[in-house]
Amino acid sequence: MGALRSIQTAGSTVRRNPILFVVAAALSLFQLPGLIAQSISPLLGSFISLGFSGLLIFVMPFFIGGILGMANEAIDRRTSLQTFVHEGKANYVSLLVVYFGLFAINLVFGVVSVVGLAVGGAFVVGVGGGSQVSLLPLAVIGFVGLLILLAYLTVLFVTQFFGHAIVIDDVGAVNGLKRSVTVVKDNLVSVFGYTIIVTIGGAVVGVLGGLFSLLTTPTVASQSATPTSAAMTQLPNLGLAGIVGLTVLMVLISGLLGGFFAAYSTAFYRSIRPVER
C-alpha cells in the first residue's frame, strides 16, 4: 500500500536531510506569540492569535511551496535553504490564489453552518412550548446538516494535493486543483489510508497545542470554592521557566512532526501522481 510504503521513504529522507525539521519548527514560531500571550491574558492571547492567523494566510503559501520543494529534492538527494527560498518564491502566486479560493469556500460553509444552527435552534425554541413536537422537521434539518458536512469534507479530501501538484508537477493554480482531484479519484483507497495517517498526526499536534494552552492559561480560583474543589480545578502555576520549557518542547515536537509529514506527503504524492507519457 502506497500510504505505508511512503512512511519508509519519508523516514530515510528526513534522516538524510534533518534541515526539514528546522524549517518546520520555524513555522511553529508564528503560533507561539499568541500562546505565550495567553499565559498572561486570555483576551490578549486571542487578539494576538487572530493577528498572526491573518498573517499566516500570506505566509503559508510561501512556506508550503518552499518545504514541499525541499522535500521533493530531499527524496533524491541533499536539499538546502536555497531550495526553500527558490520554490517558495516560484510557486507563491499560484498557491496564494488557491489558498484564498479555499478560504472563501470555508467561509461559505461556515456561514451556512451558522445559519443552519440558528434556524434549527429557532425551530426547537418555537416548538418547545407545544404539547406535541414533530420529529420530521428536525430530521430534515439534521440530514441537510450532514450533507453540508460531507460536502465540506469531500472538498478538503479531493483538493489536499493541490500544493504538491503545483510545486512538484510545476502546474498553475487551476491545473493544480484539477490534478489533485484526479489523483484522489484514481487512488481512493490509498489516499483514504494516507488521510487517516495524516489526520492522526494532526490530532497529536492539536492535542499538544491544547495542552500547552491549558497549562499556560492563568486561572483564578472562585472565592466560594472550598479548598478541596479549588485544588482539584486549579492548574499548577508553571512560572516563567515552565512556560519557556513547554515552549521549547512544543517547537521541537512541531518541527519533528512537521518535517516528517512534509516528506511523507511528498513521497506519497510522487507514488500516485500521473506519469507523463
- CB environment 91-108: b (16+ within 10 A), e (fewer): bbebbbbbbeeeeeeeee
Band (pLDDT 50/70/90 cuts) for residue 185 is very high
pLDDT of residue 260: 93
Amino acid at 108: V
Report how far residue 106's alpha carbon sits from residue 22's, in angstroms, rounded to the nearest whole number: 30
Q: Summarize the chain as % helix, strand, coil (round to 5).
A: 85, 0, 15
Phi, psi of 254 (to 5 degrees): -60, -40
pLDDT of residue 202: 82
Q: Compute how many other C-beta atoms are within 10 angstroms of the C-beta atom of residue 202.
A: 12
pTM score of the predicted model: 0.79
pLDDT of residue 51: 66
Is residue 131 within 8 A of residue 153, CB to CB? The reply is: no
Q: How far is CA 90 from CA 12, 70, 160, 166, 256, in A?
A: 27, 13, 20, 10, 26
> 154: exposed, middle or buried (C-beta count within 10 Å: 0-12, 13-18, 19+)?
exposed
Report how far residue 198's alpha carbon sits from residue 59's, in angstroms, rounded to the nearest whole number: 22
Q: Give the pLDDT confidence of 108-137 residue by residue, as tens digits.
A: 877 777 776 666 666 655 555 554 556 676
Residue with cell 519557556: 244
Average pLDDT over residues 147-174: 90
Statement: residue 274 has pLDDT above 60: yes
Report how far residue 136's alpha carbon sits from residue 89's, in angstroms, rounded to the nearest whole number: 54
Statement: residue 1 has pLDDT above 70: no
- 92 compared with 51, residue with greater pLDDT: 92
DSSP state of 273: S
Q: How far is CA 64 from CA 156, 204, 219, 259, in A?
A: 16, 20, 37, 12
Which residues, at least 6 apart from 17, have a Cβ–Cβ distance to it below 8 Å?
Answer: 70, 74, 78, 79, 263
Statement: residue 2 has pLDDT above 80: no
Statement: residue 12 has pLDDT above 50: yes
Grid coordinates standing for 24? 518546520
Statement: residue 41 has pLDDT above 50: yes
To the nearest whole number, what is the mean pLDDT of the chain?
79
Q: How far is CA 27 from CA 99, 125, 169, in A?
A: 17, 45, 24
Is residue 3 within 8 A of residue 57, CB to CB? The reply is: no
